[in-house]
Structure formats: structure tokens, C-alpha cells
């Protein structure tokens, strides 16, 4: 398989601790897979390799790509569950109407911050509820596994999407970093969008400084046009707290992104007309909050545009689409809830949305906000 020079540096490195700064669309999963295959070709036993991802979907994708190697691939929770289940029965708490979703999130953040945030008032009642029913939640899995993971026998540990790591997960990893363990973390702080549930992208800096991890870069983007990358780079460079990098495109096609400004009604009409005219039936419509797409979803159905997908920025993470419409730009940065009041994370969230687009990108708003001005794109009033 042909690798570019950046990818080769990552695949064949001899460094024991590595952080791979992997930009959107730069082939990070491919690098992880190729490095694991390379290690096995050099005599490393598959039983000595552990790969940790952040979602079940990502774990399944990694397993499919590593089908011939049978390497251990888990989420954090999956790994800890299997470890604990060897010695006792595990009953997981499933969300129900006993507790509010927002309370569950606050409790999770308290646990995964190792008690560094304020203890929720409902915490003790919640823990009593779990204990009386013999239940554990997902964070409890990691907490209970802290004493068990030190006995692992892996020699090579990979972690994907490292920018989404919380303090509890990082403590688990540190417990596993024996002197003879090689550690390879992959991530992009510009795509760190889960601060509201405890993710600490600054752990990347901690890893680089405490463990003297080698910083390697993947900046070549194979997904998006140069015009899309230009606006994405302009946006994210507004953030101060980041590791500097610039995405560079490999595609020759160059269709310019455009901003539409108009009323909600005129925007809805324009989107439908554009999809029909250009046959963008596999397009995706992205937004910050679900309420922003309620009307549009019904309008698409009435126009028999059933294949057009609608999803939030968070839901689109890790995906790519030929044509992307971003609606509701006038609401950014979203600061209605103190839990989400972080302008740099809101900018990273938009960055994720922009970099889902491969060729066609339409940015839609009802007003010309400062963020719209910062994008410096052509504007069409509709």
C-alpha cells in the first residue's frame, strides 16, 4: 500500500512514545492499521498489541481493517468490562426516567474528572440507587478496573481520537504504561468537541511534556477541496489554544464554498431547489442543535427527498460527504447553556462540520454574524 512521507514516518517510527497529530481526512486510521501490520511483520505477536477507540463503530471499523491480524480492539469501556467480567458478573446501569439526562451527565463528569469538578447534589442518591440494585455505570467500569489493568501484558498500546480523552481514561492509560510498553496516540485537538462531557484536549500537551512523546504530523488531506480546506484553516486559526498545523489538499477539483443569507423560509426553499437541480440526493445537512432541523426535515419529506441526511455536528464526527449544507450559523457560538459556553470548542465544532465536505459546501444563515465575516467567503442573499 502506498503511503505518503508523513504516513511513512508514523508507520515506521522507532520512538517508544508517539503522538500523531492527524488532521481531518489525513488517513489516520490507515496509519494505525499499517503500523500494526508493520509491527507484526517485524515479529511482534498480535497478542501483545492493544488498540483502543472511542466508539463501538470505530472499533468495528478497525477490526474489519485488521481482519487478518486478530489484534485486540476495544473501546475503553469494552476493555474494562471484559477485564472485570472474568471474575464477577457485571450489571450495567441503563438510562431510565429515574434521573434526568442532564444530571447523569453531571455525575459522569464528576467521576471522569476524578472529583476535580463540583460534586452534583444528586450524586449520593444516584450511587445509592446503583448499589442497592447491584449496578455499575460506564465510569464505574473504569474506576473498578484501575487495580486490574496494571497486570496487563500488552507491549504496544494504540489510542485513537486521543483528544477526546478524559482524566479518568488517562489515569487508566498511565496505569498501563509499564516501562517496557510502547504507546502510540492519535488525535487532533482541533476536533476536540466533547469538553461538555469531560474530554481534556490539553492532555496532549501533558503527554508530550511528561513522557517526551515524539510529535509527528499528518497534514495532507485526501478528502476535501483546497477551497474547503482554506476556509477551515482560516476558521480554526482563530483559536489560541491549539497545536499549530495547516491542512493541505491533494484534490485538483476546486468548487468554491458559498454562504447564503436569507429568511428561514427562503433558505428552506433554496436548499430544496438546489438539491433537486443538482441531484444532490446523497447530501447531508448539518446543524448545531436538533431543534434547528425540525421544520426542514418535514419539508424534505414533503418533497420526497428521503435520502438526504440530517445530523448534528457531533453526530457527523468521523464521517464524510460529497455535499454538505450547514444551517443555523446565526446561532454560533452557542452559549445558551453554561455547560457549552466555550467559544473555542464551538469553533472546533464548526471546523468538524466544514471538514466533513468533500466537494460542495453551502453555509446557511439568517444574519451576517462575526463568525460569518471571519470565513471570508462569497455571500449570496436569497
Q: How many helices and strands (H and E) does the chain possess?
A: 15, 14
Whether residue 15 is found in the same domain as residue 65: yes
What does the alpha-carbon distance between residue 352 and residue 319 come to, in Å, rounded to a whole number?
10
Whether residue 14 is found in the same domain as residue 64: yes
Concatenated DSSP letters of 142-187: HHHHTTTGGG---SEEEESSGGG--HHHHHHHHHH--TT-EEEEEE
Residue 227 marked ligand-binding: no
Residue range(s) defining the domain that contains residue 275: 226-381
Domain boundary residue among 199, 218, 237?
A: 218
CB 24 within 8 A of CB 191: yes
Residue 27 marked ligand-binding: yes
Domain boundary residue among 198, 218, 238?
A: 218
Whether residue 297 is found in the same domain as residue 327: yes
- In the chain, how many domains are there? 2
Residue 98 lies in a domain: no
pLDDT recorded at residue 350:
97
Residue 213 marked ligand-binding: no
Cα–chain center distance at 103: 23
Q: Which residues pair with 310 in a beta bridge?
A: 285
What does the alpha-carbon distance between residue 272 and residue 336 come to, in Å, rounded to a whole number?
29
pLDDT recorded at residue 341:
58
For residue 137, give every residue at least 6 positions away whose Cβ sits within 8 Å of its Cβ, in sequence order, or none.
Answer: 92, 93, 107, 108, 111, 130
What is the chain's mean pLDDT, rounded? 94
Residue 23 marked ligand-binding: yes
CATH number, domain at 353?
Answer: 3.40.50.300
Residue 110 lies in a domain: no
End-to-end alpha carbon distance in the chain: 47
Whether residue 186 is found in the same domain as residue 68: yes
Residue 116 lies in a domain: no
Domain boundary residue among 218, 253, 271?
A: 218
Residues of the chain with pLDDT under 50: none
Whether residue 189 is found in the same domain as residue 240: no
Residue 357 marked ligand-binding: no
Residue 195 marked ligand-binding: no
Residue 165 marked ligand-binding: no
Whether residue 147 is found in the same domain as residue 268: no
Residue 26 marked ligand-binding: yes
pLDDT recorded at residue 199:
94
What does the alpha-carbon distance between residue 382 and residue 379 come to, in Å, rounded to a whole number?
10
pTM, rounded to two decimals? 0.93
pLDDT tens for 227-239 read 999 999 999 999 9
C-alpha cell at position 120: 452534583
Residue ranges with strand state E in 30-170: 49-53, 72-75, 156-159
CB 313 within 8 A of CB 353: yes
Amino acid at each position: 500500500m502506498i503511503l505518503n512521507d508523513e504516513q511513512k514516518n508514523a508507520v515506521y517510527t522507532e520512538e517508544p512514545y508517539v503522538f500523531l497529530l492527524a488532521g481531518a481526512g489525513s488517513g489516520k486510521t490507515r496509519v494505525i492499521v499499517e503500523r500494526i501490520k508493520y509491527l507484526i511483520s517485524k515479529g511482534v505477536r498480535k497478542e501483545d498489541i492493544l488498540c483502543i477507540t472511542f466508539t463501538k463503530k470505530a472499533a468495528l471499523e478497525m477490526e474489519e481493517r485488521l481482519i487478518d491480524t486478530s489484534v485486540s480492539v476495544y473501546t475503553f469501556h469494552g476493555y474494562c468490562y471484559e477485564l472485570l467480567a472474568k471474575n464477577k458478573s457485571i450489571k450495567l446501569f441503563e438510562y431510565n426516567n429515574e434521573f434526568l439526562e442532564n444530571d447523569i451527565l453531571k455525575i459522569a463528569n464528576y467521576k471522569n474528572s476524578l472529583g476535580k469538578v463540583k460534586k452534583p447534589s444528586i450524586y449520593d442518591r444516584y450511587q445509592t440507587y446503583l448499589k442497592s440494585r447491584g449496578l455499575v455505570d460506564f465510569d464505574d467500569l473504569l474506576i473498578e478496573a484501575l487495580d486490574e489493568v496494571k497486570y496487563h501484558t500488552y507491549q504496544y498500546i494504540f489510542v485513537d481520537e486521543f483528544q477526546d480523552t478524559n482524566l479518568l481514561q488517562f489515569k487508566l492509560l498511565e496505569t498501563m504504561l509499564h516501562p517496557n510498553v510502547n504507546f502510540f496516540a492519535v488525535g487532533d485537538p482541533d476536533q476536540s468537541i466533547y469538553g461538555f462531557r469531560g474530554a481534556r484536549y490539553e492532555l496532549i500537551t501533558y503527554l508530550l511534556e511528561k513522557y517526551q512523546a515524539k510529535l509527528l504530523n499528518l497534514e495532507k488531506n485526501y478528502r476535501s477541496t483546497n477551497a474547503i480546506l482554506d476556509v477551515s484553516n482560516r476558521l480554526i486559526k482563530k483559536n489560541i489554544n491549539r497545536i499549530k498545523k495547516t491542512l493541505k489538499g491533494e484534490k485538483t477539483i476546486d468548487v468554491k464554498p458559498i454562504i447564503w443569507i436569507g429568511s428561514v423560509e427562503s433558505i428552506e426553499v433554496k436548499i430544496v431547489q438546489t438539491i433537486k437541480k443538482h441531484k444532490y440526493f446523497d447530501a447531508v445537512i448539518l446543524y448545531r442543535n436538533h431543534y434547528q432541523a425540525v421544520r426542514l426535515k418535514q419539508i424534505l419529506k414533503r418533497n420526497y427527498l428521503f435520502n438526504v441526511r440530517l445530523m448534528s455536528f457531533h453526530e457527523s464526527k468521523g464521517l464524510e460527504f460529497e455535499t454538505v449544507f450547514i444551517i443555523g450559523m446565526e446561532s454560533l457560538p452557542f452559549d445558551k447553556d453554561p455547560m457549552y459556553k466555550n467559544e473555542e470548542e464551538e469553533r472546533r465544532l464548526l471546523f468538524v462540520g466544514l471538514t466533513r465536505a468533500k466537494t460542495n459546501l453551502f453555509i446557511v444563515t439568517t444574519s451576517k454574524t462575526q463568525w460569518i465575516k471571519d470565513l471570508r467567503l462569497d455571500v449570496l442573499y436569497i
